[in-house]
Amino acid sequence: PQVVYPGGVPEHGGSGRVVLVIDRSLSMGLQEAGETLLSRARDGATDVIDGLPSGALASVVVFGDEAMALTEELTTDHERLRAAVVAIQPTNETSNLQAGLHEARRLLAGEPGEVLLFSDEAGPRTVPDARTELEALIELGSTVLPMPVHADPPRNVAVTRAQYVPGVDGGTLTLRLANYGPDGLEVACEVTLPDGQSIPIFVDLPPAGEAEERVTIPSKALGGVGAAVCTDPDLPADDARYFHLPRVGASRVLVVDGDPGDTPTRSEVYFLERALAPWGAAGSARGGLLPDVIASAGVADLDPDVHRVVFLANVADPRPFGPLLTEFVRKGGNVVLAAGDNITDDRYNAALGAILPAPFRQARSLTDAEEPGIPLVLPPTTDHPLFKPFSRSGRAAFAKVRSHRVLTLDAYEDRPDEVTTLLAYEGGIPALVERRIGQGRVLVWTSTVDWGWSNLPLQSAFMPLVQGIVRYLGGESGSGAARFDGTVGEPVRIPLPDLAVEPDITGPDGQPVRSRIEGSTLIFRPDAAGAYAVGLPDAPPLAFVAVNTDPLESDVRRTDSVVGIERELDPERFVVREDLASASFGLAFVLLVLQALVAARTRGETP
């Protein structure tokens, strides 16, 4: 049979108006016989352009998630069109055929013409979703001619789901794989955790079916975005599935509020809480961890299997839980002490003297409370892990931190791997001092974490410093576990906490990603799958975004066709012709031969 359109043209371009629509979505990266479907589409499109009549008006439209015309209007400059087609690059986006046909209709400007479609037409929704645009083109008298670029048969294996669930040991990662090919096969996969730990597995897949595999996560693992990669030579672009993994093992932060105040803003830890978890409850709703904030009486709830870092903020009397904290540090836990009016040297020396960098003395006023205070000296380098986030010129922010009152210490000497002065004020007065005891650490901030003695909470360095301290001590603050998801090519919207500085977004390749802010929402459009980090300049990441390709785009099978939709929309547009003359002649000839053979046999049998 031959499908003929009424008024059909003898060659492409005979109508005088031609639009080539080229699919560059993820599925067009499918490889067959050493080349991709997109490569075939480019070759076919350039052949058509080379064969167009010299005066034919033409243009090219490419589409993935969105459609784009490569010229503003139809043109007779075929060389320009050819060069544009050769330069078309693949994307990891979905197939928005509707947008591609709409752009073609715009270029035709209400006049009939030829629309040549170079697409695999793959996916369960690609063609049906374009039905309205096909109908609009047909009503204009235009012809939509599919130029097939299909694999025969199409094959692809994709990881369509990867989800972590806490549980025994380190929990479980559940993977779901789909086989879109006609043959069963075994696939080699590798799960890579955010800290680089690797877990190899093999998955058996039935023909045109799915399989699930469960992977046990180690009892200790850093949080972030991991990847499950299943090698597939047919369509490598969707071989990986990225997933969120909270820190596994002791990682929580316990904050002891030594002066709760009569309102939240008067609390000693008001600023500290927000530095630890900028997204607050919103981050928790998305899988983030809020710090555990308690009064002094609740320190008995300290659990070494859960908590990694303890902040004591202006706590008056640590003697009731001094042995507990001392044992916590000796077994690898970490404590951060912040000063304030409630602290007395004799109580702290009696309770925690064995783990302090030096014995405490009384508090000392550096200036009058009404004066700005004494500034911090810049860290000499950013080589220390605590200051690495400030390596991009952020070190200067420390010079704006001033205190008018500090807690003093007995004279001490810095000793490598034991006692280190990390920050100091002008004149050499200690500001942040570290003591190491085995795998545990104690940090003493000699001023306050509210604005009682210092302006630190109001400075841009405060949140990065607090986040850096927690990460340095091996814990995970609320922001470190704030998790968001995204799809390649689609806008990702992240509600912002109350930040004075616009966050940066870093892509999987480590490069900055363009973004914008609308109201209180940060928006960016990822063009590749992988782990994206959201953070302030010179600070650890505030949140992670796991971006994946659309699972529907991995289904490379064709379930509908443009021709089929057109036939439904306008059956009269198709004429089916059968060349019966040659077939009838051949049949008559065979019958004559058979008749002659039968007659000859009959004569031979007659006596």
How high is the pLDDT of residue 603?
47
**pLDDT over threshold 50, residue 215:** yes
CA atoms within 13 A on the CB side of 7: 10
CATH of the domain at 112: 3.40.50.410
Tokens of 2: 């031959």
Tokens of 312: 């004591």
User: Is 305 in the same domain as 420?
Assistant: yes
Q: Which helix (H) or strand (E) holds 293?
A: strand 292-294
Q: What is the dihedral of CA 20, 21, 22, 27, to 10 degrees?
A: -150
121 within 8 A of 21, measured Cβ to Cβ? no
**pLDDT over threshold 50, residue 6:** no
φ and ψ at residue 590, rounded to 5 degrees:
-60, -40
CA atoms within 13 A on the CB side of 103: 27
Angle between helical axes of 131-139 and 97-108 (0-180°, round to 10): 20
How high is the pLDDT of residue 23?
98
Q: How far apart are CA 113 and CA 136, in angstroms?
A: 13
Average pLDDT of 366-392?
85
**Is 200 exposed, middle or buried (CB count within 10 Å of its CB: 0-12, 13-18, 19+)?**
exposed
Q: Tell me the pLDDT band of 413, cut-offs 50, 70 and 90.
A: very high
Q: How far apart are CA 24 and CA 27, in angstroms?
A: 8
How high is the pLDDT of residue 306?
82
Length of the chain: 607
pLDDT digits (tens, 9 = 90+) for 532-577: 999 876 666 778 999 999 999 999 999 999 999 999 988 876 544 4
Compute how many other C-beta atoms are within 10 angstroms of the C-beta atom of residue 361.
13
Question: What is the DSSP secondary structure assignment for residue 408, as one 8-state letter?
Answer: E
User: Is 471 in the same domain as 498?
Assistant: no
How high is the pLDDT of residue 607?
44
User: Is 200 in the same domain as 239?
Assistant: yes
How high is the pLDDT of residue 379?
84
Picking from 325, 331, 307, the residue whose alpha carbon sits closest to that of residue 476 is 307
Question: Whole-model pTM above 0.75?
Answer: no
User: Is 315 in the same domain as 403?
Assistant: yes
Picking from 389, 365, 394, 364, the residue whose alpha carbon sits closest to that of residue 378 is 394
User: Is 235 in the same domain as 300?
Assistant: no
Q: How far apart are CA 118 and CA 130, in angstroms?
A: 15
Average pLDDT score, the chain: 88
Q: Which range marks the domain in which residue 289 is found?
A: 252-479
Tell me the DSSP string of 226-262. Answer: EEEEE--SS-GGGSEEEEEEPPBSS-EEEEEES---S
pLDDT digits (tens, 9 = 90+) for 22-55: 999 999 999 998 999 999 999 999 999 999 999 9
What percentage of the chain has pLDDT greater than the value 90? 67
User: Is 33 in the same domain as 111?
Assistant: yes
Domain limit, last residue, from 188, 219, 247: 247
User: Is 54 in the same domain as 148?
Assistant: yes
Q: Tell me the pLDDT band of 11, cut-offs 50, 70 and 90.
A: low
AA identity, residue 572: E
Q: How far apart are CA 332 and CA 440, in angstroms?
A: 4
Average pLDDT of 116-126?
95
User: Is 291 in the same domain as 400?
Assistant: yes
Distance of CA 375 to the CA centre of its chain: 40
Helix, strand or coil, per DSSP, at residue 356:
coil
453 within 8 A of 429, measured Cβ to Cβ? no
Give residues with Cβ within 8 angstroms of 340, minimum separation 6: 258, 259, 268, 313, 314, 448, 450, 452, 453
How high is the pLDDT of residue 539?
65
**In a domain? residue 602:** no
User: Is 188 in the same domain as 233?
Assistant: yes
Tokens of 126: 């690609």
Q: How far apart are CA 387 and CA 403, in angstroms?
A: 20
Tokens of 69: 């015309």
AA identity, residue 164: Y
**In a domain? residue 103:** yes
**In a domain? residue 356:** yes
Q: How far apart are CA 332 and CA 314, in angstroms?
A: 23
Average pLDDT of 199-220?
95
Give residues with Cβ within 8 angstroms of 1, minimum separation 6: 576, 577, 578
**In a domain? residue 589:** no
User: Is 383 in the same domain as 419?
Assistant: yes
User: Is 335 in the same domain as 223?
Assistant: no
Angle between helical axes of 131-139 and 562-569 (0-180°, round to 10): 60
**In a domain? residue 109:** yes
CATH of the domain at 338: 3.40.50.880
**In a domain? residue 588:** no
**In a domain? residue 576:** yes
CATH of the domain at 211: 2.60.40.10
How high is the pLDDT of residue 181?
95
Give residues with Cβ within 8 angstroms of 444, minimum separation 6: 336, 337, 339, 356, 357, 407, 409, 430, 432, 433, 435
Domain limit, last residue, from 479, 502, 527: 479
Picking from 253, 197, 194, 264, the residue whose alpha carbon sits closest to that of residue 222 is 194
**In a domain? residue 598:** no
CA atoms within 13 A on the CB side of 220: 7
How high is the pLDDT of residue 312?
97
Tokens of 479: 């922001």
pLDDT digits (tens, 9 = 90+) for 55-94: 999 999 999 999 999 999 999 999 999 999 999 999 999 9
Using only the alpha carbons of the chain, give its radius of gyration: 35
Domain limit, last residue, from 197, 212, 247: 247
User: Is 258 in the same domain as 376?
Assistant: yes
107 within 8 A of 19, measured Cβ to Cβ? yes
Q: How many domains does the structure of the chain reveal?
A: 4
Average pLDDT of 519-531?
93
